[in-house]
Amino acid sequence: MYSTNHVYDSGARLLHMRLYYQPVDERGDPAGPERKIRLCHRQYWPEDVARLLTRARFRLIETFGGFDGRPLDPVPEEAAEHVYVAVAV
């Protein structure tokens, strides 16, 4: 079994995550100790990525809100995915 919780620090743009894993047997019953993993993700907005790409000598071609080609959400913190297409210059 798996569960998670998230706490977003908008000032620091950090997403603090806790992931909980419980091994289960073939019937779905607990089969070992629960494990907890803590992660912290820095959230980059499109302007941050564009600036980093420029510094790395890439040119941004397009942005998407997913690998299916949908538009990037205008509110970056609401977007589950950011996809950037860039070429080396």
pTM higher than 0.75 for the full model? no
Q: 30 or 80: whose pLDDT is higher?
A: 30
Q: Among 4-13, 19-28, 66-75, 76-85, which is the least confidently predicted range?
A: 76-85
Beta-carbon contacts of 26 under 8 Å, excluding residues fewer than 6 positions away, are: none
- pLDDT, residue 74, reads 82
- pLDDT, residue 17, reads 94
Distance CA 20, CA 5 (A): 9
Query: For the chain, what are the domain ranges?
Result: 1-43, 44-89
Q: Which two tokens stand for residue 48?
A: 């941050």
2-56 pLDDT tens trace = 889 999 998 999 999 999 999 999 998 988 898 999 999 998 888 999 999 999 9
